[in-house]
Chains A and B, each alone.
Chain A
Amino acid sequence: MIHFDNVTKVYANQNRPALDHVSVEVDKGEFVFLVGPSGSGKSTFLRLILKEERPNSGAIHVAGKDLARLSNFKVPHLRRRIGCVFQDFRLLPNKNVYENVAFALEVIGKPRRFIRKVVPEVVELVGLEGKAHRMPDELSGGEQQRVAMARAFVNRPMILLADEPTGNIDPATSIGIMKVLDRINRTGTTVVMATHDAAIVDSMRKRVVELEDGKIVRDQSRGVYGQAY
C-alpha cells in the first residue's frame, strides 16, 4: 500500500536530511505507529505520502502509484484515496458537524443525494450521533477530533494518515479516539499514525516504526513506544 525505497529528503537551506535513505513497506490493512522525537522526520514521512513534498532521491509508491510519475494534475485523485487527521483538527468554525463532513464530499463534486446518505453514517461511526448540528466551538477537543476523523474517512480512503491525533486531547478521551481509529482500521483501511503518546502505543500493540534523525532505528511488529533495554 505504501512503499518507500531508499527515500532521502533534504529541505532547502538545511544540511541535515529530514529523511535519510528510508526504506519501509506498509501493507494493506496494517496499523502502523510512527514514533520518534520531534524533528525525527515523522511529518516529512506523512507529507511525502501525500505528495506535498518531493523526495530528493528514492522512490515512493502509494496505492500502486509511483509518485514520481504522478502528474500534478492527478495529485488530487491520489489525495482522495488518503484521509488525514491532525493535532489541531482543522475544522471550519462556521460550519456545523454535518457541514464540515459534507464539505469534503462537496468539494470533490459528489452528488447531494450521496452526501445525504453517507455523512450521517460516518458521523455515527465516530460516535457523534445526535450532535450533527453542533458547531465546532460547542464540542470538546475529543469530539472535534472525531469530526475530523469522520471528514477524513467519509470518502472511504484506502489509507488514513494521523499526525499526532491525540496531541491536544487528555488521556481518557484519547482512548475513545484510538477506538475510532481501530474501528476504521478494521474496515480494511491502512492507518499510519505519528505520535508521541507512549501509553497509547504500548496499549495498542501494533507495528511500531521508530525514526531518529531521519533514519529508521526500529521496525517492530506488536511493539511498544520505548525500546526495552
Chain B
Amino acid sequence: MRANFIFSEVWIGLRRNLTMTIAVIVTVAIGMALLGIGLMVNSQVSKMRGFWSDKVEVSAFLCKKNDPLPSCKGSKGVTEQARADLQTRIQGMAQVESVEFENSATAYENFRKTYGENDVLVKAIQVEDMPESFRVKVKNPEEYGTVIDELQSVPGISMVVDERELLDGFFDLMEKIRGFALMIAGFLVLAVILLIGNTVRLSAYNRRRETGIMRLVGASNLYIQLPFVMEGVIAGLLGGVVSAVLLIVTKVFLFDSMNINLAAGTQLTWNDLAQVILGTMVIGVIICILASFVTLRRYLRV
C-alpha cells in the first residue's frame, strides 16, 4: 500500500471538486451540530431530572385569616394546635415520606432570595403576606396524585401545588427543542448522503481515465475505490471539526448561561461535550463512508 500515492489522488480529487467539497463540509457541520445539540439537550434533561427528582415536593399551603380562597371560607387562620394536628395527620399517610413546616419568615426569606433584584415587588410584600406551608415529600413518585387529592380535601389547607408541574413545562420545552434539532439533523443527513453521492459521481467521471487504466493494469478494488472514499471521509472529518466548534459555542453561550438560572450542579461538563462531539464525528464519518461506497458501486465499474 502506497499511502502517499493514495493521498495525492485524494488531494487532486478534493481540489477538482472544491465547491462540492465545501457544500459537503458545510452540510455535515450543520447536520452534526444539530444532532449534537439534540444529544446535549438529552443529557442536560436527564441530569436535571436526576437533580430535581429528590428535591421535588408537594407544597400544601395553609389557610390564613380571612383567606379569600374558597377552600378556606370563614377560616380564622390555622392555630398552633391545628397545625400540629395537620402535621401528624399528613405524616400518618402511608405514601408520605416526610413533612416539613415552612413558616412565613422562611417563606419570605426564600421569596427575597428569588426576586431580590425586583425591589418594587420585594417592598410591596410583607412577611405576613407569605403563606405558611407544609413541604411534603412522597415515597414513590407515582403516588403524588393520591397524596395531592387527599391533601386537597383536608380542611385548613388552602391550596396544594405540585412542583413537578412547574418543571414539566420546562422539560416539555427541552424535549421539543430536542425533537426539532433531531428532525432537522435527519433531513441534513439525507442531504449529506445525496451530496456525497453527487460528489463521488462527479469525481468518478473526472477520473474515468485514471480508473480505467488502473482497472486495466490490475489495481485492486481497494486501490481504485479508496481515494474516493477518503475524499468523503476527509470532507466528513472537516465538517465534524466545524460542528465541534459550533457545539462548543452552543455549550458556552446557551447551556452554561441557562444553568446559572436553573440549578447549580446540573452543568453540562466538558466531558459530556467531548462525548457528544466524538459521537457526532463518528456518525458523520460513517455516513460519509457508507454514502461513498453505495455510490461507487453504481458509478465505478471495477
Which residue numbers of A lie inside 8 Å of B, CB to CB?
50, 73, 76-84, 90, 92-93, 103-104, 106-109, 112, 151, 155
Q: How far is the CB of B53 from chain A (nearest CB, A)?
A: 57
Residue among A76, A78, A93, A109 making CB contact with B221, cutoff 8 Å: A76
Residue among A77, A82, A92 making CB contact with B213, cutoff 8 Å: A92
For B211, the closest partner residue in chain A by CB is A107
Residues of B within 8 Å of A104, CB to CB, are 213, 217
Q: Are A77 and B218 in contact (CB under 8 A)?
A: yes
Which residue numbers of B lie inside 8 Å of A, CB to CB?
1-2, 5, 209-210, 212-221, 223-224
Residues of A within 8 Å of B212, CB to CB, are 90
Q: Are A109 and B213 in contact (CB under 8 A)?
A: no
Given contact pairs A79-B215, A90-B213, A93-B209, a sample of 15 additional A-B residue pairs in the complex whose CB atoms are under 8 Å apart: A50-B216, A76-B220, A80-B217, A80-B218, A103-B210, A104-B213, A107-B219, A107-B224, A108-B217, A108-B218, A108-B223, A109-B220, A109-B223, A112-B2, A151-B213
Q: Are A107 and B223 in contact (CB under 8 A)?
A: yes
Residue among B1, B209, B219 with the most chain A CB within 10 A?
Answer: B219
Instruction: Sample 20 A-B pairs with CB under 8 A, ordered by A number.
Output: A73-B221, A76-B218, A76-B219, A76-B220, A76-B221, A77-B218, A78-B218, A79-B216, A79-B217, A83-B217, A90-B216, A92-B213, A93-B209, A103-B217, A108-B218, A108-B223, A109-B1, A109-B2, A109-B223, A155-B217
* Complex Cα spacing A100 to B9, Å: 14
For A154, the closest partner residue in chain B by CB is B217
Residues of B within 8 Å of A106, CB to CB, are 2, 5
Q: Are A84 and B2 in contact (CB under 8 A)?
A: no
* Complex Cα spacing A81 to B215, Å: 13
For B212, the closest partner residue in chain A by CB is A90
For A93, the closest partner residue in chain B by CB is B209
Q: Are A107 and B209 in contact (CB under 8 A)?
A: no
* Complex Cα spacing A50 to B215, Å: 10
* Complex Cα spacing A77 to B5, Å: 20
For B1, the closest partner residue in chain A by CB is A109
* Complex Cα spacing A81 to B217, Å: 8
Q: How far is the CB of B301 from chain A (nearest CB, A)?
A: 9
* Complex Cα spacing A151 to B209, Å: 14
Q: How far is the CB of B233 from chain A (nearest CB, A)?
A: 20
Residues of B within 8 Å of A112, CB to CB, are 2
* Complex Cα spacing A80 to B212, Å: 14
* Complex Cα spacing A81 to B219, Å: 12
Q: Are B210 and A92 in contact (CB under 8 A)?
A: yes
For A111, the closest partner residue in chain B by CB is B2
Residues of B within 8 Å of A92, CB to CB, are 209-210, 213
Q: How far is the CB of A14 from chain B (nearest CB, A)?
A: 20
Residues of A within 8 Å of B219, CB to CB, are 76, 107-108
* Complex Cα spacing A112 to B221, Å: 21
Q: Are A90 and B209 in contact (CB under 8 A)?
A: yes
Residues of B within 8 Å of A108, CB to CB, are 217-220, 223
Residue among B2, B210, B224 with the most chain A CB within 10 A?
Answer: B2
Q: How far is the CB of A217 from chain B (nearest CB, A)?
A: 30
Residues of B within 8 Å of A107, CB to CB, are 5, 213-214, 217, 219, 223-224
For B223, the closest partner residue in chain A by CB is A107
* Complex Cα spacing A10 to B5, Å: 40
* Complex Cα spacing A155 to B216, Å: 12
Residues of A within 8 Å of B214, CB to CB, are 107
Residue among B1, B209, B218, B220 with the most chain A CB within 10 A?
Answer: B218
Closest A-B pairs by Cβ, 8 of them: A80-B218, A79-B218, A107-B219, A104-B217, A76-B218, A107-B214, A76-B220, A106-B5
Residues of B within 8 Å of A151, CB to CB, are 213, 217
Q: How far is the CB of A125 from chain B (nearest CB, A)?
A: 17
Q: How far is the CB of A92 from chain B (nearest CB, A)?
A: 6
Residues of B within 8 Å of A83, CB to CB, are 217
Q: How far is the CB of B121 from chain A (nearest CB, A)?
A: 76
For A84, the closest partner residue in chain B by CB is B216
* Complex Cα spacing A93 to B210, Å: 10
Q: How far is the CB of A48 from chain B (nearest CB, A)?
A: 15
* Complex Cα spacing A128 to B177, Å: 69
Q: How far is the CB of A111 from chain B (nearest CB, A)?
A: 8
